[in-house]
């Protein structure tokens, strides 16, 4: 029997969530100085050459382009729109409220997985999703005087993320992760250049 090592996986998840939170905080902090479009361009100009170099080093003979460019482009467009919606909310609402609103994504993923892919979602998972969604409602307090319509932008972002996850699961499973990352960064670069 092979012993599983969960430690490195847990460390990678915690580290990546920390880095994402740090990135969100930096975006909120810099939103008075830089536009999201400038950040998209700067980020992509740094990341795209790195991704291309890593792809060439790890698999020199494999093509850079994805096997299904249309599906990868759709996934990249959905994720680009997701980031636009999410970052548009950061100057308007607190980072905590934006993050909580974005945590509706599992609900949308479960619904779409059931409706589009026909995947079963068990009762315990539904219970967890409902409890999580109740927590989102408690924090955002829709209908209260303090509720801001800007809090719906991260919910839109969560919906777009869920759609991208369904496209990834249904149509992009055979794609290399680096090709998917490259597609996303090219989408962000294109959006940033067009808007700038």
State which of 24-28, 65-69, 87-91 shows the largest mean pLDDT: 65-69
Span 7-16, mean pLDDT? 86
Residue 143 has pLDDT above 70, yes or no: no
- List, in order, residues 6 or more apart from 68 with CB less than 8 Å away: 171, 172, 174, 175
Span 117-137, mean pLDDT? 87
State which of 109-113, 116-120, 140-144, 163-167 shows the largest mean pLDDT: 163-167
Q: What is the pLDDT of residue 13?
A: 83
Whole-number Å distance between alpha carbons of 41 and 100: 27
3-state secondary structure of 28: helix
Residue 157 has pLDDT above 80, yes or no: yes
Residue 63 has pLDDT above 60, yes or no: yes
Residue 30 has pLDDT above 80, yes or no: no
Q: What is the pLDDT of residue 180?
A: 95
> For a pLDDT cut of 90, what percent of the chain falls above it?
47
Q: What is the pLDDT of residue 166?
A: 97
Span 153-178, mean pLDDT? 95
Q: Which long-range contacts (CB under 8 A, 24 or more apart) does 3-10 make?
A: none
| Cβ burial 113-133 (10 Å sphere, 16+ → b, else e) | beeeeeeeeeeeeeeebeeee
pLDDT band at 43; cut points 50, 70, 90: confident
**Dihedral sign, Cα of residue 149, residue 108, residue 158, residue 21:** positive
Higher per-residue pLDDT: 149 or 46: 46
pLDDT band at 78; cut points 50, 70, 90: very high
């Amino acid at each position: 029997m092979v012993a599983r090592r969960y430690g490195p996986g847990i460390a990678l998840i915690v580290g990546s969530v920390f880095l994402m939170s740090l990135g969100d905080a930096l975006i909120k902090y810099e939103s008075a100085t830089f536009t999201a479009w400038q950040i998209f361009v700067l980020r992509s100009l740094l990341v795209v050459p790195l991704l291309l170099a890593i792809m060439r080093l790890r698999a020199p003979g494999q093509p850079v382009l994805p096997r299904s460019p249309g599906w990868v482009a759709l996934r990249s467009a959905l994720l680009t729109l997701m980031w636009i919606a999410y970052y548009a909310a950061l100057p308007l609402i607190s980072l905590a409220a934006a993050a909580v609103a974005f945590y509706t994504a599992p609900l949308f993923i479960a619904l779409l997985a059931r409706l589009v892919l026909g995947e079963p979602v068990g009762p315990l998972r539904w219970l967890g999703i409902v409890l999580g969604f109740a927590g989102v409602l408690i924090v955002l307090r829709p209908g209260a005087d303090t509720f801001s319509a800007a809090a719906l932008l991260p919910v839109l972002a969560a919906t777009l993320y869920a759609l991208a996850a369904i496209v990834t699961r249904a149509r992009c499973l055979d794609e290399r992760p680096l090709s998917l990352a490259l597609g996303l960064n090219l989408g962000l670069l294109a959006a940033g250049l067009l808007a700038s």
